[in-house]
Each structure stands twice: as C-alpha cells, then as structure tokens.
Chains A and B, each alone.
Chain A
Amino acid sequence: MKSGNNAEQDSVDSFCTARASLLKEQVIKTVFFCTAFLAVIVVIFILLFLLRDGYPIFGEVGVIPFLFGMTWAPTAMEPLFGIFPLIVGTLLVTLGAMVFAVPLSIGCAIYISELASPRVKQALKPAIELLAGIPSVVYGFFGLIVLTNFIRVTFDVSSGETWLAASLLLGVMALPTIISVSEDAISSVPHEYKEGSLAIGATRWQTISRVLVPAALSGIAAAVILGIGRVVGETMAVLMVAGNAGIIPEPLWNILSPVRTLTATLGIEMGEVSIGSEHYSALFGIAVVLLVITLVINLSAVAILRHLKQGRTSASARKPLIPQTMIESLIPFAKAAGLVLVLLFLLIAAPWWLTALALLAGGIWYYAKDRVSEKHIQTIAFCLVGLAALIVLAILVIILQDIVINGLPAISWEFLTQPPKDLGRAGGIFPAIVGTLYLVLGAIAIALPLGVGAAIYLVEYTREGRITKVIRSGVDLLNGTPSIVFGLFGFAFIVLYLNVGVSLLAGQITLALMVLPTVIRTTEESLKNIPQSLREGSLALGATRWQTISRVVIPPAVPGIVTGAILSIGRAAGETAPIMFTAVVFSSRFLPDSIFEPVMALPYHLFILATNVPGSSTNKYGTALVLLLLVIGFYAVAIVIRTHFRNKTRG
C-alpha cells in the first residue's frame, strides 16, 4: 500500500517536472525566435528611418528631378538637389573597378584552384584573406598618398584624385571577394568533368577554359555581382581618392576626371549638414537610393549562390537559375558589344600609341590563331593566369611594405601611450586605440548573444519554411547594406530619435548591427557541421532539445563561433563610416568616463589626419600601421583557431 502511494507520488512529480521542463523549452525557443527575428526588425527599422528622414525631399523636389537632376548643389543660394551626376559617378567607378578586377580575379582564381601546387595554394589563400582584411580607410590612405601621386606623375595631370584612382583602388578592394567566391565555384565543379575532358585528350587549358569555367559560370557571375556590391557600397576609400567633383566626366570616357559617388557624398556632407534641413533630407534620399541599388545587387548574387548550393546537394535540381543556354547565347552578343566598345574607344579616345598597340595585338592574334598549337596556347594562357596571381600578390606586398616601412619609425612607447598633440601631428594615439577597443568589444558583446541565438533558432529549432526564409532574407539584406547606411541609420535612430547622443554606446550598437549577419552566418555554419547523429544520440537518451543543444551541439561548435566573433571584431575595428556620425570625435585628451560620451577611434583618426591635417606624415603612417596590425592581429588569431580546430577534428 505504502509503496503504491509512493509510485503515485512519483508519477505526479514526474508529470509536474515534465510540464515545467516543457514550459522551459517553450520559453527558450521563444527567446531564440526573438533574437532571430531581430534581423528582420532591424532591416525594417533601417528602411523606415531612412524613408522617414528622406521622404520630404522626394515630396519637395519630386522623385524624377531628384534622380535625374543634373546638378548637385545643396549649399548654393538656390540649392539644387539632382543626384544624376552622383549616380553616374558611382556607375563609372564601379565599371572601371570591374574592368580592372574581373580579369585579374578570374585569372587568379583559376591559378589557385587548378594550377597552384598545394604549398603555393597555402601561401596564396591567406594572402588574399589579408587583402580582404585591410580596412577601407587604410586603402584610402594608401590611395591618397601613393596611388594618386603615381597617377598625377604618370599622366601629367594637376591632381591624381580621379575616376581612375577610385576605380583602381576599389578594384583592388573587390579582388578578394571575387577571387574567393569564383575560386570556390571552380573548385566545386565535379571532378568527373575534369577527368572526362582530360581522358578525351583535351589539354589542361582546354579543360579549364571549355569545361571547368563554363560549368562554374553562374558561381563566377555571383562572385562578380558580390564584388560590384562591395564597390558600390564602399565609402571611405572612394571619398579619399575620387576627387569628389559632382560632375559627369567630359568626355564620358575621360578616366582622369574627378568623380563623386553616392557614398562619398554621404561621407562628406553628413557631418556638416544642419539636422532637419532640406539638405539633410536629400542626404537620406541618397541613402535610400544607395540602399535600393545595393540590395538588388546583393540579393541577386545571394539568389544565384543559394540556387547553386541546392543544385549541388540534390542532383535533380541541377537546372541553373539563369539557364546555362541563356548565358551561353548571350556570350556572342557580349563579345560583339565588347568589341564595338573597344573599337569606339580606340577610334575616339585612346592615344595613338594605344591604338597602334591594340591593332598590332589584334593582327598577331588573327594571324596566329590557327597556326599556334594547343600546347603553345596552353603555355601562354598559363603564363597569363600565373601573372594575374603574381599581380595580386604584388599589390598586397606594395601596400603592406609602404605602410610598414613608413609607419615603423613612428611607433614608440610614447606614440602608443600618449594622447595626441597639435591636432595629431605630435603626441600619440592612446585614446584612439582604447576607443577602438571599447567600440569593438561593446559591439561584439551586443552582437554575439543576438547572433548566436538567431543561428541556434535557424539551425536547431525550425525546419526550412516561410519564417526562416523571411529571417534569412533579413540577414542577407543586412549583410548587403553599405556601412555608410548603417552610419546614417545609427545617427537618425540611435543618436537623434532615441536621444542617446553621439556616444560610445551609439557606436557600439551601430557596429553590432553591422556585424550581426557575420556572427549569424559563421555560427550557423559551425552548427550545421555538427553531425546529426550526435543530436539523435542525445535525444534518444531522453534529453530535451535544449539539453541536447547546450551540452552536445554547442560545445564542439564553440571554436567556429569564436572564430566568427573574432572575424567580426576585426571587421568592426577597421570600419569608419558607421561610427563617423555616431560615436567619434577627432581629438580628445581623455578617455570616456561613461558609455554616453564620444570617443576617439583609430580609423577616424587616420581619416582626419590623412585628409584634413597637413604635415602629420609620420603619425599618419604610424596610425595606419597600428590600425592595420590591430585588424590583421584579430584575423590572424581567428585563422589560427580555425586551422587548429580543423586539424584537430580531422584527427
């Protein structure tokens, strides 16, 4: 009798605990859902606030005059708000950057995936990651000091701050994106295609050019689109070298004319505009236009890549998003159009020696086409592809050595531990170093829990469906948003609307929103890498979902999550645009007392030194070097962790 009572009691107890744990599971799930949905909310808020502040200008000027007006003169006696020259400037800079970057990147990608020996590959890949890790303000600084000077001397013009300089610099910045994505696309072409082609007796180059590259074409297209997205959204580098005259080049192909992009306009004018004025509203109008352009670009790239991934996993869905036949039928047109453009350029604009050279090359090609053996074509092609890789490497070396050699003399104990004097010409950068660390640590402290929570929700709690689709689109949109747009949003929403003021906190939140997609993605990746059998093993023992996640799934995923977090810190540390209007001051002798005070930051300090303070040469280079080392240091730690644990799991 007694024992029976006990048993009853037990079952009641276990029923209660079961209910309690069920409730707990429900609560946990809801919390994760909220973190995941935050990405969507942020996107909506960004759109709302840009539109709210930008709307008046569309009302006053009208959409068409705003978009197609020929003059941008916001501070004139009778201000004009036509952004057409800015749109054209953005397009031209992007076009130039792609003309330079696309052939170089594809050549380099082919070299890495097909020709490089494993050892060379191991050296090249980190080099390209390094190129991606250099902060844009450091690129801008290098461009301003070295590149524009080079152009000024070479072309004998009065100023090197030109369309050409902007395109070259942004082309370099787009290289790592295009190289890594297209290398990935070429490497993941099934090995059987390669064997099949070689077994027929095709040369390696024929196999590459006629089988591998065509099979990877949509991946390469996505890579180029992502590169374009990067270029269109770039602010700091372009504003430092483009000359920023709001004109359409005259004639249109005059690459030595200064241009002004949409992003540069925001970067230059946002700091000086009076809040609530027509000009202020026009700047937000520009941000809306910019956001729409970059979103369209990035979403199309994401769509292509996602489709490819699905095609790779399920054989039935091999049909590409853009039908292969369509791409291929477009090729002859593209070729013809390219030829016509080149001819026009040669006839109208090019100097005579270039025309002669091109005609000569064309003549040789026409003559030699059918007379040269495949072997020789292969040798020439391999040389060109190798040259592309070499050029990319050389660019990296040139930039690094310039900054290291000129920056090292500035580095001293005093430089690292003293506040700046004489507008940064003398003294140190201590407050800027501390400010940057405060900013990124705060940003990651905010972004990490939110991002990890969102990733856990996406991977562990839901099946793919409508909700995940919405959330993923939100993350993609956030990822494609230019950093200057985050800056404007942070200013309008956090600084003004929430009345936080220009402060450390506002900067931290803005940066956190910016790196959120990176954290979500890397966490998602590392969670997906945990084998399903582990989860099943735990669930089969009667563990709840949360127990399984917290004890079985997350521990082995920690290295991946940490890597993602450190990469995000590195990225945040180098950013200028998002903190420019939300968190920083140029000169401060003191460290902030609370999170409601503004701070100094390395990237912004470098930007001001480089553009507004003449005669601070050593300290500029010193600041650039410290910033570079800081960012690269974060990346290096992340890479070391990644390789360490990758080797470990491989055993």
Chain B
Amino acid sequence: MKTLRFLLEKEFRQIFRDPAILRMMFIMPVIQLVILPQAANYEVKNVKLSVVDHDHSTYSVQLVNKIKSSGYFLLTGYTGSFEEALKQVEIDQADIVLEIPADFEKNIVRENKASLFMAVNAINGTKANIGSSYLNTIIRDYNQELRTKWIQIPKFNNEPRIQTTSSNWFNVYMNYQKFMVPGILVILLTMVGSFLTASNIVREKEIGTIEQINVTPIRKVHFILGKLIPFWVMGQIVLTIGLLIGRVVYGIIPTGNIGLIYLFSSVYLLTVLGLGLLLSAYAQTQQQAMLIAFFLMMIFILMGGLYTSIDSMPGWAQTVTRFNPVSYFIDVMRMVVLKGSRLKDILPHLGIIAIFAIVLNSWAVFAYKKRS
C-alpha cells in the first residue's frame, strides 16, 4: 500500500510539472465542447435549388414561388438551360435541379397530367434523400391545390382514411445539441484518457527511466495501478467539466440520476486507460503507440453510433461495434441524460464494460515485463 502511495505521488508530480500537458488536457476538451456541437446539424435546410423553366407560365411561376416560400430551399439559379444548371451542381452551387418542361401548364389543363424532372446531387445520400422528398412534398401540395381549384372535392370524405400522428419523446424540440454534446464529451474523454496512458509507459521506456523502476521491488500490479489512478482522477475531472459545460452553455440537465453517469464512467475509464496501458506495454516507441491508438480511436469514434446509426451497418460491422467501448458509453449517456433510464436499464452495458476493464487491465499487467 505504501509503495502505491509513493508511486502515485511520483505520477501526480510528473503530471503537474508539465503545464503544457495539463493545459491541453483540460482546455482542449473545453474549447471543442463549446464549439463543435454547434457545427453538428443534420437537419437539412437551405437546400440549393436551381430551376430550369422552359415553360414560363403562370403555373410554373406559382410552383417556383411556392417552393421558395417553403423555407427549405434557396433558389440559386433560374435559367432556361439544363446544361447551365448542371454546371451549378458541378461547382456545388446547386444541390437539386428542377426542370419544368415546355407546355407544363398546357399539359396539366389539356391532358390531365404533366411531368417534372428532378436531378439530385446524390454524393451525400442523406441530403439527396431528404432534399428530394421535401421537394416532392411541396409539389404534391401544389398538385392538391390545383385539383381543388378545378374540381369540387366533397366536404365530407366518404373514403376511409388512416390518419397518423407522431410525437417525439425525450427531445421534444428535436434539439440536435442535446444529442451531440453528451456524445462528443464521451469521445473527448476517451481520446484524452487513452492517448495519455498509451504514451505514458512508452515514454519511460524511451527515456530509459523504466529501468530504474524495474530494478526496484515494486510489483507489476502496483506499477500499473500507479499509472492508472492519476489518469482515472483526471478523467473524472474532465467529465465533470464537460457536464458543467453541457449545463451552462447548452442547458442540458440529465433527466436521469447523474450518479449513474459517474458510476458508469468510473468503470469505463478503467477500460479506456487499460487499453492505453496495454498498448504502451507492447509498443516500443511513442510514435508506434500513438499510431495504434489513433487507428483504434478512429474506428471507435466513427463506429460508435454518434455519427451514423449502428442498426444500419452490415452484420459483421455490428459485431465489431459490440467490442467498441465508446458505443456503450454513448448509449448510456443518451439513456441517462435524455431518457432518464434507471440503473437496471444500463446494467447490461455496465456488465460488459466491466468485463472489458478486467480483461484489458489484467492483460496489461501480464504484458508488462520487468525485464527488457
């Protein structure tokens, strides 16, 4: 016990002596947490629309006005040539081209139907889908208006109708930041924790100071614990700062018990730090440790369910995400902060993370060799 205390003293001193690292550890997450969530908005608005109007009739003008006034579209072009509009798509000045054929109005009135042509820049599938379906809805509305103008639709509807209503639980105003802030906090916490521990033991290897520790009677467990505990404490501080920012800047107050977040994070941090220690037990140089940590982190983050939905991934990729600690914490954050889930709801997550923590840390102790 006494050994551990001295080791801890050493580690804490080392951390506090390097103000550069300390600053990075706290300031960087703060800045990112304040700025980044505001950039995250999937809601598609201001879709850039270029209209090619060959008709120039009352109807085509009416339609364009209706689209313009919907608020979802920015009219960036109103031309008579499709080629020109396509050029706009090429330079990203238009996302959607709507072509109104000549005789659009005439066809509606005389032949009872007319067609419109829509070309969508589909490189970003989401935007293409949502943008085109908005436009479709508006055109359908316009179509309905036209019909009511030409035919009297009976007031009483004698066709059976299925109505649908929808409600959005847990985030009534569909506030994207409520979703992003907890997620980004998890990512920052994971990055800070794993990168720092990953480079820590390797650093001692590189500088050569690890020899000095190896010749002492310090036990492996104590050595690993000595590395683990300081960063665990730092991690909890970063988390606390992050939650405070969420509260002050974004007004996010966890619906569930905040103790659950800390309960989960205390196990989660052990997992993340254990992973870092494991990397540093195997890596020979900090460069190597960082590269592997970066590789893992990129997979953890992009496959963590924050940016793209895990359910939509192919089966093998979903299996990969089961080994991704980040996805569990993001899930738990969302559950506790937004949905107010209780202990029994997050218990499965907690169990899995605990297993990760035990495996990774005992592996790290095992992998750390006192002889080089």
Do A and B pair up? The answer is: no
What is the interface of chain B, defined by CB distance below 8 A to chain A? none
